[in-house]
């Protein structure tokens, strides 16, 4: 049966589509412009001649960044950070959110623990105490200095525990009746049903680790241990010439700040753009569709 709309309804729907299309275009045009700048010559970019199409097409900015061994090494550091950090974040988030999602009757001190975690979201100890903790625990200038300080993302824990609380209690009770313990219930029932939430949190954690650059500058003593974003911030944005070899000086003359920054944006965003389509399909799935049947 085909649903018919009144003329007013059709106008309303058309206006919504037009507004959404306009907003999408407003978001897309700046990205297209930045991409065009990244493929344009430094002279054209500096003169402001680039609009939505490259002028004097060149790959100089990308060659400058991609041809450096330091850049490839920084990619390796970032990939290692994402792999370890994502695993640690998701494991601890699940293990913390599951008990905190229980009712007070089943976990008497739940509210106290929740408030302890919430306080850490409202109040930050500061950079100096964090630096001292990292230093005196002996993890300075190592991959763990980039992973352990943010091992338990509280915001993700709050999201996941609320998601767990929204799942039907009948599922957990049925598992307990069948002899399953908390560990089995968590990993074989709660986690599979939480795929949409976990996909979202995975994306949050991945983006957070990939885009982080400040902690690399603070906790890494050697530029050889910089993650990708810290390396690009130091070499491309601030132009720290101590990290640039004599062979790169000719390339630097062909790369302007605008083209280099534009290339950095897309090099930094490309992995996330490739990962997102694989996770996006989870966002629209039903939470517990078909899990409980009368």
Mark 113-126 as b/e (b = at least 16 C-beta within 10 Å): ebeebeeeeeeeee
Q: Determine the pLDDT at residue 293.
A: 41
Query: Has residue 146 got a pLDDT over 90?
Result: yes
Q: Which residues contact 212 (CB under 8 A, 6 or more apart)?
A: 146, 227, 229
- pLDDT at position 281, please? 66
In this prediction, residue 178 carries a pLDDT of 85
Of 65, 53, 85, which Cα lies nearest the Cα of 254? Answer: 65
CA gap 61, 258 in Å, rounded: 10
Contact 287, 167 (CB under 8 A): yes
pTM above 0.85, yes or no: no
Q: For 231-288, what is each residue's pLDDT tens digit?
A: 878 765 555 555 555 555 555 556 777 787 788 778 877 887 787 777 666 655 533 3
| pLDDT above 90 for 78 | yes
**Tokens 């402001």, located at residue:** 48
At residue 287, the pLDDT reads: 39
How much of the chain exceeds pLDDT 70, in percent?
A: 86
Mean of the pLDDT values across residues 120-127? 85
Q: What 8-state DSSP symbol labels residue 221?
A: S
Segment among 53-67, 151-165, 203-217, 224-238 with least mean pLDDT: 224-238
Domains and CATH numbers, the chain: 7-59 (no CATH), 62-283 (1.10.3720.10)
The more confidently predicted of residues 291 and 226 is 226
Helices marked H in 222-256 — which ranges? 228-232, 249-254
Instruction: For residues 28-46, give the mean pLDDT.
Output: 87
**Residue 114 predicted with pLDDT over 80:** yes
Q: How far is CA 241 from CA 220, 223, 237, 245, 249, in A?
A: 18, 12, 11, 8, 9
Cβ-in-10-Å burial (0-12, 13-18, 19+) of 85 comes to buried
Nearest to 134 by CA among 126, 211, 230, 118: 126
Higher pLDDT, 293 or 146: 146
pLDDT for position 153? 92
User: Do residues 264 and 232 lie in contact, with contact meaning Cβ atoms separated by under 8 Å?
Assistant: yes
pLDDT per position as a tens digit, 6-24: 888 888 889 999 999 999 8
């Amino acid at each position: 049966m085909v649903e018919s709309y009144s003329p007013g309804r059709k106008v309303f729907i058309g206006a919504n589509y037009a507004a959404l299309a306009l907003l999408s275009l407003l978001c897309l045009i700046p990205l297209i412009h930045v991409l065009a700048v990244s493929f344009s010559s430094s002279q054209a970019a500096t003169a402001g001649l680039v609009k939505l199409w490259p002028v004097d097409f060149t790959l100089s900015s990308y060659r400058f960044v991609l041809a450096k061994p330091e850049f490839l090494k920084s990619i390796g550091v970032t990939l290692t950070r994402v792999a370890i950090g994502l695993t640690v974040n998701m494991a601890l988030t699940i293990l913390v959110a599951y008990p905190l999602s229980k009712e007070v009757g089943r976990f008497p001190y739940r509210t106290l623990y929740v408030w302890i975690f919430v306080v850490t979201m409202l109040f930050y100890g500061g950079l100096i105490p964090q630096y001292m903790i990292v230093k005196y625990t002996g993890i300075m200038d190592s991959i763990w200095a980039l992973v352990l300080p943010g091992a338990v993302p509280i915001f993700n824990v709050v999201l996941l525990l609320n998601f767990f609380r929204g799942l039907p209690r009948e599922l957990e009770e049925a598992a307990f009746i069948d002899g399953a313990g908390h560990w089995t219930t968590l990993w074989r029932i709660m986690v599979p049903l939480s795929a949409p939430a976990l996909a979202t949190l995975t994306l949050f954690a991945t983006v957070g680790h990939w885009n982080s650059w400040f902690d690399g500058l603070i906790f890494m003593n050697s530029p050889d241990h910089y993650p990708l974003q810290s390396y690009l911030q130091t070499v491309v944005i601030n132009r720290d010439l101590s990290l640039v070899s004599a062979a790169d000086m000719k390339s630097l003359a062909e790369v302007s700040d605008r083209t280099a920054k534009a290339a950095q944006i897309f090099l930094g965003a490309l992995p996330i753009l490739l990962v997102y389509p694989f996770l996006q399909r989870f966002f629209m799935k039903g939470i517990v569709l078909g899990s409980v049947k009368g």
